[in-house]
Structure 1
Amino acid sequence: MAPSHTTTCAIAGAGPAGLMLGMLLARAGVDTVVLEKHDDFLRDFRGDTVHASTHQLIDELGLGDTFRGLAHQRIERLQVVTDDGPHTLADFTRLPGRFPYITFLPQWDFLTFLQDEAERFPNFRLVKNAEVTGVTTAGERVTGLRYKDADGVEHTLAADLTIGADGRRSAVRDAAGMRPRVFGSKMDILWFRLSKEDGDPGGMVGRLSDGQLFVRIERVGHWQAAIAVRKGGYEELRARGLDRFRDQLAALTPFLAGRLADDLRTWDDVKVLDVQIDRLTRWWRPGLLCIGDAAHTMSPIMGVGINLALQDAVAAANILAGPLRDGTLADEHLARVQKRRMPPTAATQRIQRFLQTRFLEPWVRGEGKSTTPVVLRLLKRFPPLQGGPARAMAIGLRPEHPGPLLR
């Protein structure tokens, strides 16, 4: 085993939560090391939504002009098209503040932006090709991380605080013996790319028809598309054949029909997201805190998982930066992070579970009626109500703001 290294805060996972927290702690003068198991950020169909609250956060950090210079797609409304026609589910132009929209930006560009900003500070280090294999402990206290480098050489990284930000299959969480409460799901999502042509109707659109839910999101240069299926339904689709799947998509959105054969050549072009909702009862133990998907896996409903993860990071930085910097970190500080972030997380998951079990899951089981749901009719009749779903999606229940140490 290679000699151990030491830092003040060791973070497992260079996703949005891990890199945002690492960057903020570095700004506050805390020595921070982030470990990432891959050698780059180039993975598709990750959370690419940049919410209004994220734009506000980045602006408050003084990075807004640079960030908005990155190529992105702005979305002002979320529409749902039923057999009766189009309906607006969320109108982001009704949001308060300077950012009445959401944007879509490839996550690798967002992560590279955070990395570049973090590396301006000499007390930040990102180690790639570092696969976390476990935690080190002294009694009940977590004292750091174990990881393997690209050559398989094992290392240890000792830290005053260890952060698990390594996603829904968190190695840190498992190694620490922390088991989430699983709420279950009876649906999965299939993701794929489709080509975009001049003249395509733009925006973010969900198509509901005869028990089918198809979503297309306008991106720079392509469509990001998804279709909901019953849990395990992907294998049934495969058994029926790719031609049948293309025909299904063409019937839902006819303008795509002529390009589906080129866009979906094999089933390798379709990625399966195992939808699940879970949450740790306790996000911390002495020396360790989990945030983001490691603490709570969100459903893709409303597209808020990345927003919750970033808000976790900001709250953690606000609460922990001072104690980490002056050496007074205590268990009560870790408990305070959970106390602040648990209520909006649990409330958002309750909303997701309600929508999923009462509406989406019955729909994808073929129990959905072809008539337009009452809520869409109500929103169409009273347009100001469209600001409610927009706020829930784009801002969230408890947006966080950087404190004085982070600015």
Structure 2
Amino acid sequence: MTVILERDCVIAGGGPAGMVLGYLLARSGLRVSVLEKHADFFRDFRGDTVHPSTVTVLRELGLRDRFLQLPVNRLRTLDLVVDDHRLRLVDFSTLPAPETFLVLAPQWDFLNFLGAEGAAFEGFDLRMNTDATGLIIEGDVVRGLRATGPDGDLEIRATLTVAADGRASTLRDAAGLVPEELGVPIDVLWFGLPKPTDPPPPTIAYASPRGMVITIDRGDRYQSGMVVKKGGLDALKQEGLPALRKHISDSATVLATVVEALTDWDQIKLLSVQINRLEKWHRPGFIAIGDAAHAMSPVFGVGVNYAVQDAVALSNAIAGDLAAGTAPEATLAAVQARRMGPVRKMQRVQRFAHGRLARATAGQHLAPRWAIGLLRASLPVTRRFLTRFIGLGFLPEHVDRPVR
């Protein structure tokens, strides 16, 4: 027997976009269900960087201090080592206080935190192990969704249905929205490594003609990655695990003493890097946000934060309409118009960066030596720009009715 529920908004996907949007709408007094198809949030090698712009959102919601009590790691600076030259590219302490750091937080902790805080609102309904399978469409208007959960089939009818179910979005496909693939020449192999005995300052990556290795500081360990050619994993497997360890230690000599911790290919996960976006995010009664609307590359680690910014912009725009029982498509279009500019700009920069990163996979320098020299000479100015670009993005959103 199918259970039928009525909501102001139903959200498919319990990632950062869906959970933040669910919290914000419930905070506005609305009835909102968030559906997460997995039984828990525990999945490693997800976006764990919470940038200053998102910490600002948490402060505006009165959640910042409790969030920072979680097992998080705060980084105030980020270095890049290019051709064995250390460059301090980012210094978050130059941003307006109090958000003068980037937070590395396991994403499952962040999502569990949002779920626990959302439960304080009567209208917040988080349903785990519940998979959105299709849309309810009457005429041209989306009236809700169908799902399967622990107790069987479920039908949730809602004024607004939101696809926040990631880059392989089921609801986006059901709505007939097809993303434009922008093409990426690289993939990333993710793996965890212990820190060496005498670790260097926080370093985002090591790049040279020997290769490129990412080292995200997670306190007692690194969330590491190696940039490889798109589709290059099979060739690496044929070379064998010892050859991979040598590639890693040659590219980042600081890891030479810890790379032996990789003893099995099961420790290594492939992130198939993807950049795409919808030209139209919405139709009557429906909108896609986050990765469902625009898959971001891991370059600059902005995916979580752009998803959160989408959620804040949508909540600010639509909460009043939903309270009145409507979800005007003009409002949804305005949300897309507001967020599309920042998305296009960031993806344009990411695609340029991919061209540079691909050089490292081909045994080439990331940039000519004169360009690296110019970067070093201009660092005092460049650092301030990169700090704002990475920490805040192109259009940081702010919560309507912030906590005072």
Report the TM range for the smaller structure's normalisation: over 0.9
1:187 and 2:195 matched: no
Equivalence for 2:351: 353
Equivalence for 1:403: 400
Does the 8 Å CA contact 2:196/2:258 hold for their aligned counterparts? no
Taking the TM superposition and a 5 Å limit, the aligned residue runs for 1:269-348 are 269-348=267-346
Q: 1:365 aligns with which of 331, 352, 362?
A: 362
Equivalence for 1:41: 41
In the TM superposition, residue 170 of structure 1 has moved relative to its aligned partner by 0.4
Q: What is the distance in 1 between the residues matched to 2:220 and 2:255?
A: 15
Does the 8 Å CA contact 1:318/1:405 hold for their aligned counterparts? no
Equivalence for 2:195: 196
In the TM superposition, residue 222 of structure 1 has moved relative to its aligned partner by 1.3
Does the 8 Å CA contact 1:17/1:309 hold for their aligned counterparts? yes
Q: What is the distance in 2 between the residues matched to 1:141 and 1:123?
A: 24
Does the 8 Å CA contact 2:14/2:164 hold for their aligned counterparts? yes
Give the TM-score, by structure 1 length: 0.95
Equivalence for 1:98: 98
Does the 8 Å CA contact 1:71/1:220 hold for their aligned counterparts? no
Q: In the TM superposition, what whole-angstrom CA distance separates every residue of 1:22-70 from its partner, at most 9, and x where no partner exists? A: 0000000010000000010000011100101111111111112111111
In the TM superposition, residue 3 of structure 1 has moved relative to its aligned partner by 2.6
Higher mean alpha-carbon deviation, 365-374 vs 311-320, is at 365-374
Does the 8 Å CA contact 1:92/1:394 hold for their aligned counterparts? yes
Q: What is the distance in 1 between the residues matched to 2:394 and 2:154?
A: 40
Equivalence for 2:238: 239
Give the TM-score, by structure 2 length: 0.96
1:210 and 2:213 matched: no
Which blocks of at least 5 consecutive residues in structure 2 are unaligned?
Answer: none
In the TM superposition, residue 264 of structure 1 has moved relative to its aligned partner by 1.1
3-state SS of the aligned residue for 1:281?
A: coil
Q: In the TM superposition, what whole-angstrom CA distance separates every residue of 1:111-141 from its partner, at most 9, and x where no partner exists? A: 0111111100011100011111111110111
Equivalence for 1:113: 113
3-state SS of the aligned residue for 2:74?
A: strand
In the TM superposition, residue 379 of structure 1 has moved relative to its aligned partner by 3.9
Which AA in structure 2 matches 1:303?
Answer: G
Does the 8 Å CA contact 2:10/2:34 hold for their aligned counterparts? yes
In the TM superposition, residue 224 of structure 1 has moved relative to its aligned partner by 0.5
In the TM superposition, residue 405 of structure 1 has moved relative to its aligned partner by 8.1
Equivalence for 2:64: 64
Q: What is the distance in 2 between the residues matched to 1:214 and 1:371?
A: 19
Which AA in structure 1 matches 2:371?
Answer: V
Alpha carbons of structure 1 residues 17 and 370: separation in structure 2 relative to 1, 3 Å: closer
Higher mean alpha-carbon deviation, 203-212 vs 104-113, is at 203-212
In the TM superposition, residue 323 of structure 1 has moved relative to its aligned partner by 0.6
In the TM superposition, residue 332 of structure 1 has moved relative to its aligned partner by 1.1
Does the 8 Å CA contact 1:129/1:150 hold for their aligned counterparts? yes
Which AA in structure 2 matches 1:158?
Answer: R
Which AA in structure 1 matches 2:14?
Answer: A
Higher mean alpha-carbon deviation, 324-333 vs 228-237, is at 324-333
Alpha carbons of structure 1 residues 401 and 188: separation in structure 2 relative to 1, 3 Å: same
Q: What is the distance in 2 between the residues matched to 1:136 and 1:96?
A: 46
Which AA in structure 1 matches 2:169?
Answer: S
Q: In the TM superposition, what whole-angstrom CA distance separates every residue of 1:214-262 from its partner, at most 9, and x where no partner exists? A: 110110321100110000111111110000111121223334323322x
Equivalence for 2:4: 4
Q: What is the distance in 1 between the residues matched to 2:19 and 2:380?
A: 38
Taking the TM superposition and a 5 Å limit, the aligned residue runs for 1:114-263 are 114-150=114-150, 153-261=152-260, 263=261
3-state SS of the aligned residue for 1:289?
A: strand
In the TM superposition, residue 98 of structure 1 has moved relative to its aligned partner by 1.9
3-state SS of the aligned residue for 1:97?
A: coil
Q: In the TM superposition, what whole-angstrom CA distance separates every residue of 1:362-395 from its partner, at most 9, and x where no partner exists? A: 3323343686571564245442321111111110
Q: In the TM superposition, what whole-angstrom CA distance separates every residue of 1:202-223 from its partner, at most 9, and x where no partner exists? A: 4133111215111101103211
Does the 8 Å CA contact 1:27/1:406 hold for their aligned counterparts? no
1:390 and 2:387 matched: yes
How big is the alpha-carbon RMSD for the aligned residues of Structure 1 and Structure 2? 1.8
* Structure 1 stretches of at least 4 aligned residues deviating more than 6 Å after TM superposition: none
Which blocks of at least 5 consecutive residues in structure 1 are unaligned?
Answer: none
Q: What is the distance in 2 between the residues matched to 1:373 and 1:76?
A: 28
Does the 8 Å CA contact 1:144/1:156 hold for their aligned counterparts? yes
In the TM superposition, residue 155 of structure 1 has moved relative to its aligned partner by 1.7
Alpha carbons of structure 1 residues 369 and 255: separation in structure 2 relative to 1, 3 Å: closer
Higher mean alpha-carbon deviation, 334-343 vs 25-34, is at 334-343
Higher mean alpha-carbon deviation, 196-205 vs 322-331, is at 196-205
Equivalence for 2:51: 51
3-state SS of the aligned residue for 2:348?
A: helix
Alpha carbons of structure 1 residues 376 and 218: separation in structure 2 relative to 1, 3 Å: farther
Alpha carbons of structure 1 residues 135 and 239: separation in structure 2 relative to 1, 3 Å: same
Q: In the TM superposition, what whole-angstrom CA distance separates every residue of 1:250-292 from its partner, at most 9, and x where no partner exists? A: 223334323322x211111011111111000000000101000
Does the 8 Å CA contact 2:82/2:207 hold for their aligned counterparts? yes
Which AA in structure 2 matches 1:144?
Answer: G
